[in-house]
A and B are shown apart, each in its own frame.
Chain A
Amino acid sequence: MLDLAAKTETPKTADEVVEIVADAGATGRTLEIVGGGTKRGVGDGVAADVVLSLAGLAKVIDYAPEELVLTAQAGVTLAALEKLVAAQGQMLPFEPPHLAKLLGAKGKPTLGGALAANLSGPRRIRAGAARDHFLGLEAVTGRGELIKAGGKVVKNVTGYDLSKLIAGSWGTLAVLTEVTIKVLPAARTETTLLLFGLSDTQANAAMVAAMNAPVEVSGAAHLPQAAAARPPLKGQMAVTALRLEGFAASVAARADHLAEALLGFGRAERLDADHSRQFWAQVREVEAFHKDPLPLWRISVPPAAGARVGEALAGDTLYDWGGGLVWLLSEGDPLQVRAKVKALGGHATLYRGDASAFEPLEGPLADLTARVKAAFDPKGVLNPGRMGGA
């Protein structure tokens, strides 16, 4: 699927991107859009004539910490950005996973890539997804037109919210050249409450109880015994983790409250801030499932149904988002995986593996999706086949 022989274009300006896309449209060629190239392996093979890399568009345009807004070119790396905002005591609220190691990739993930794939980390349950912090964009559509949408302020309803549409479109609608995101103050401190030895069902119930207590849980994950036994934890028992972030006095008060609310599930141990950060970094990166030859599924279901994924499908699981995000290592028949997940009200994406990656759409929704694709990219120039039919 990776055609290493394909020519790579690395434009330095948005106008050059316009030129490349327009030229491809005019000459009937196709483009594979990459940032750091870390997620190229996800999705159906893109057999494009030319690779269009955004690595040459990597400048931060404007960052005003007091406005909670940051504008950067799409090719800026997540690592550079995280360092920049951390220096101002701020964070990317959606805690984007890098996933390079999970996907066995060498490059550095970019902001544009994280937004294009709408990738969000454990804080998704509290702060929202990547798409919720995506305020505005400049992008080149498949028609070779440079467009602007959204704005550079935190609150805006002017015109259609194309940022949301582009988030999660995996480069099939437009090539992001410049993006504006909302940033937030970083938490002053954090702690994590750990429960040990719970079954998946008990853990799911514990995560629901924690999320339904007024304590602003900002991470809720469960590693069953098999996942916990793998590196980096190499533990003996299943571990269920609940994160609290904020000002010290508040975190302490909420931790007490939460520990009491969870007494029915056992006595919770607490991690200090450093260990808490380490713990959530490995959850975010799904480290337990690095370097495993089995197909890896990313499954999204209603959070309370998380444990039922593990019951319905054979394989090792890791639960994030309070049960709403399930990583599953499984050799199961892809059609069966999709059918069982769909029956639980969710959908499945194959992150590592050879079958078709994205959930196929049906009926009027599939038709509407195809019309939206055609509105932006009528000739199918951008990432052909990346999201399956679209």
Chain B
Amino acid sequence: MKMPLPDAALIARKAEIVRALQRLVPGEGVIGDPAGLVPFQSDGLSAYRQTPLAVVLPETVEQVSAVLAWCQANGVKVVPRGAGTSLSGGALPLTDGIVLGMAKFNRVLEIDYPNRCAVVQPGVTNLAITAAVEADGFYYAPDPSSQIACTIGGNVAENSGGVHCLKYGLTTNNLLGCEIVLMSGEVVRLGGKGLDAAGYDLLGVVTGSEGLLGVVTEVTVRLLTKPQTARAMLLGFPSVEAAGGAVGDIIAAGVIPAGMEMMDRPAIEAAEAFVHAGYPMDCEALLIVELDGPEAECAELSAHVADLARARGATTIRTSASEAERLTFWAGRKAAFPAVGRISPDYYCMDGTIPRRQLPYVLSAITQMGLEYGLGVANVFHAGDGNLHPLILYDADQPGQLEAAEAFGADILKLCVKVGGVLTGEHGVGVEKRDLMGEMFSETDLAAQQRVKCAFDPDLLLNPGKVFPRLHRCAELGRVHVHRGAVAFPDLPRF
């Protein structure tokens, strides 16, 4: 994994840069000493580490604006950061850039029940939004598994998902507005409390832009009313094919569960050994299906789902009888990553999405690849929406295993694209999948995206080295144009 060549001249100016930033963000808002920078060296993709020039922790929008304007004027790169839980290296620092940490923006500004929304600062954690409104019967729907730590600003940047997005959508489907600061220091409001906004849907393109377009300083999220009841079902199947078939049958029957998760045998065994959720040990694939709504709906649909599972040969069919039991059913799935961490010194989590009909083929191909690479795999899978999370097991202390795991992961993602899917369902491209973007997009496709980047950040100072495999200067992209249907880069394959 290569990052853009650091600018040695900028690194040499570190002391001056830190002093200038301290004038903009006084007090303890600027960290420049090497020990203080260590916690910021990586994000949730901890295999990659770099030390930034400095970390700035602003407290006001004016400070964010002043810092960005100063950095633009002085050619200093900026990496925005929420809680640093990104799994794709979105918040990986640059050695010749600063990290702009938004942790101090941690207030819920307004809860507006009549308009079913909340206005919050970007450093508020995902779970804290729900915590602020749940006593009144509301919640914020997207629930990435890091929700106790990850911030809403980071969720906007990554368009985070979670186990409930088949029914309730990703972050982008649950936002009404945000305020962002451009690299120029200009403050722009996108959307508001209404259900659509004037002009282009810039909120839609900022969401999921991985911190490359602007720094989010305020977010207006949609609140939903909590369902009256929720019930989880544990369904054990003799094969992955049978479980996959049941998922298709459930959706074909018109049922969109609140969550529908699959685990394969290695994942079930790891999770059961860790949390003792009572998972059946005699099956090859386990489905957790959650139904929510009025009691009458949960009762009707759970009976229906049980019939469909039985028809696919399910050997275990259990429905939670209490809230405690529902949470127990989920406990193993939610702890699947750390559970796998107990059976392997290291693991590498992938995130492709495939058309669900390809599941049996893709899982058997992954198993085969694992044999070839000599590495084990445990699979957890957002079955409803086809989002795979193969966990590649490796030992970083064994020479060559990290590289083998990375190559194996890349092969899995290429396979996802080949069968009609995509590189990332919810974790983002970041640095991790950056060099695979060509698997999905042509140079022309990527140039169109990069021109959007140029409209927001013409000097390419905001989070460079992420998402795009090659950095094109904006002036260079501006010159690329086509005459009489002659497509640029005609030799490149189109997908």
Contact = CB atoms under 8 A, between A and B. Distances in A.
B4 interface: no
A50 interface: no
A257 interface: yes
A185 B257 CA distance: 12
Nearest to A89: B254
A23 B387 CA distance: 41
B492 interface: no
Nearest to A257: B294
Contacts of B226: 214
A345 B385 contact: no
Contact of A145 (B188, B205, B297, B487): B487
Given A158-B423, A160-B205, A365-B199, A249 B251 contact: no
B195 interface: yes
A252 B296 CA distance: 9
Interface in B320-377: 353-357
A19 B114 contact: no
Contact of B256 (A158, A185, A249, A345): A185
B488 interface: yes
B208 interface: yes
Contacts of A253: 294-297
Interface in A339-390: 345-347, 349, 358-359, 361, 364-365, 367-369, 371-372, 374-376, 378, 387, 390
Given A64-B357, A246-B297, A165 B199 contact: no
A154 interface: yes
B404 interface: no
Contacts of B208: 157, 160-161
Interface string A151-169: 1111111111111110111
A321 interface: yes
B353 A153 contact: yes
Contacts of A223: none
A364 B214 CA distance: 13
B300 to A, nearest CB: 5
A131 interface: yes
Contact of B189 (A66, A147, A164, A365): A365
A146 B200 contact: no
B126 interface: no
A303 B195 contact: yes
A229 interface: no
A347 B201 CA distance: 14
A1 interface: no
Given A128-B169, A144-B485, A67 B201 contact: no
Nearest to A303: B115
Given A160-B209, A185-B251, A250 B201 contact: no
Interface in B171-212: 172-173, 182, 184, 186-190, 192-205, 207-209
Contact of B114 (A208, A254, A345): A208
Interface residues of A, number: 96
A324 interface: yes
A260 interface: no
Contacts of A108: none
B196 A129 contact: yes
A15 B116 contact: no
Secondary structure of the B contact surface, majority rule: loop
A22 B202 contact: no
Contacts of A239: none
B195 A324 contact: yes
Given A158-B423, A158-B424, A22 B204 contact: no
B355 A148 contact: no
A236 interface: no
Contact of A157 (B158, B296, B437): B158
A67 B452 contact: no
Contacts of B204: 131, 161, 163-165, 167
Contacts of B293: 216, 246, 250
Contact of A155 (B199, B252, B386): B386
A254 B227 CA distance: 11
Contact of B194 (A18, A346, A365): A346
B482 A143 contact: yes
A252 B299 CA distance: 14
Interface in B407-454: 420-429, 433, 437, 440-442, 444-449, 451-454
Contacts of B420: 152-153
Contacts of B200: 165, 168-169, 173, 369, 372, 390
A111 to B, nearest CB: 18
B156 to A, nearest CB: 12
Interface string B63-78: 0000000000000000
Given A160-B449, A303-B195, A153 B422 contact: yes
Nearest to B356: A67
Contacts of A325: 195
A153 B386 CA distance: 8
B319 interface: no
A263 B202 CA distance: 41
Given A26-B484, A368-B182, A250 B354 contact: no
A293 interface: no
Contact of B294 (A69, A124, A161, A250): A250
A252 B295 CA distance: 11
A374 B444 CA distance: 16
B301 interface: yes
B255 interface: yes
A213 interface: yes
A313 B208 CA distance: 38
Contact of A128 (B113, B173, B253, B454): B173
B283 interface: no
B312 interface: no
Given A19-B484, A147-B445, A159-B437, A131 B297 contact: no
Given A161-B208, A185-B255, A145 B441 contact: no
Contact of A347 (B197, B426, B452, B487): B197
Nearest to A159: B449
Interface stretch (B28-36, B99-107, B159-167): B159-167
A125 interface: yes
Contact of A118 (B196, B203, B299, B484): B196
A158 B468 CA distance: 11
Contacts of B182: 364, 368
Given A165-B452, A246-B297, A155 B353 contact: yes
A19 B480 CA distance: 16
Interface in B444-495: 444-449, 451-456, 467, 478, 480-488, 494-495
Contacts of B398: none
3 closest residue pairs by CB, A with B = A164-B204, A250-B297, A304-B114
Given A129-B196, A359-B198, 4 more contacts: A147-B444, A153-B355, A246-B293, A372-B200
Interface of B: 112-116, 137, 158-159, 161, 165-166, 169-170, 172-173, 182, 184, 186-190, 192-205, 207-209, 225-228, 248, 251-256, 293-297, 299-301, 353-357, 382, 385-387, 420-429, 433, 437, 440-442, 444-449, 451-456, 467, 478, 480-488, 494-495
30 contacts: A15-B485, A26-B483, A26-B484, A66-B357, A69-B355, A131-B201, A144-B483, A145-B447, A146-B444, A153-B425, A155-B166, A157-B159, A158-B440, A160-B449, A161-B208, A162-B452, A208-B114, A213-B225, A247-B297, A254-B294, A257-B294, A300-B195, A303-B116, A304-B115, A346-B194, A359-B198, A364-B186, A365-B199, A368-B202, A375-B455
